[in-house]
Amino acid sequence: GAVVSQHPSRVICKSGTSVKIECRSLDFQATTMFWYRQFPKQSLMLMATSNEGSKATYEQGVEKDKFLINHASLTLSTLTVTSAHPEDSSFYICSVWAGGPYEQYFGPGTRLTVT
């Protein structure tokens, strides 16, 4: 399966600042990537679908101006959390998808803590 990396694995930032999270597909050209958020002891919630070369599509209730997604190449998607607040503290996980019946391959996740 595809190998997916995320950077950083952990980040602590101050309230009001922005933080960028990278998701890389190391051995697979991904036209579609997904971003999820997982709060402690909860399931994964889809935030947005990232399509290479086009605008991301966001799930209902996710602020597109707060969570900026850029999918500039077939191997890299970035999620920028702008003006972060403590309630944005969460585990952010990306995945890549080949389409059709293929499974999604997940990155190792990024733990964001906003102080």
Partner 1 sequence: AQSVTQLGSHVSVSEGALVLLRCNYSSSVPPYLFWYVQYPNQGLQLLLKYTTGATLVKGINGFEAEFKKSETSFHLTKPSAHMSDAAEYFCAVSAAAGGTSYGKLTFGQGTILTVHP
The one among 32, 70, 82, 89 contacting partner 1 by CB under 8 A: 32
Angle at the Cα of 93 from the Cα atoms of 89 and 95, rounded to 5 degrees: 160
Q: Does 51 bind partner 1 (CB under 8 A)?
A: no
Q: Which of 16/102 has CB closer to partner 1?
A: 102
* Residue among 104, 101, 86, 91 nearest 13 (CA): 86
Q: Whole-number minimum distance, CB 52 to partner 1, in Å?
A: 14
Q: Does 40 bind partner 1 (CB under 8 A)?
A: no
The answer to whether 94 and 35 have CB atoms below 8 angstroms apart is yes
> Cβ-count burial of 44 within 10 angstroms (0-12 exposed, 13-18 middle, 19+ buried)?
middle
The one among 46, 72, 83, 85 contacting partner 1 by CB under 8 A: 46
Q: Does 30 bind partner 1 (CB under 8 A)?
A: no
In the complex, the residues that contact partner 1 under the rule CB under 8 A are 1, 4, 6, 32, 34, 42-46, 49, 91, 93, 95, 97, 99, 101, 103-109, 111
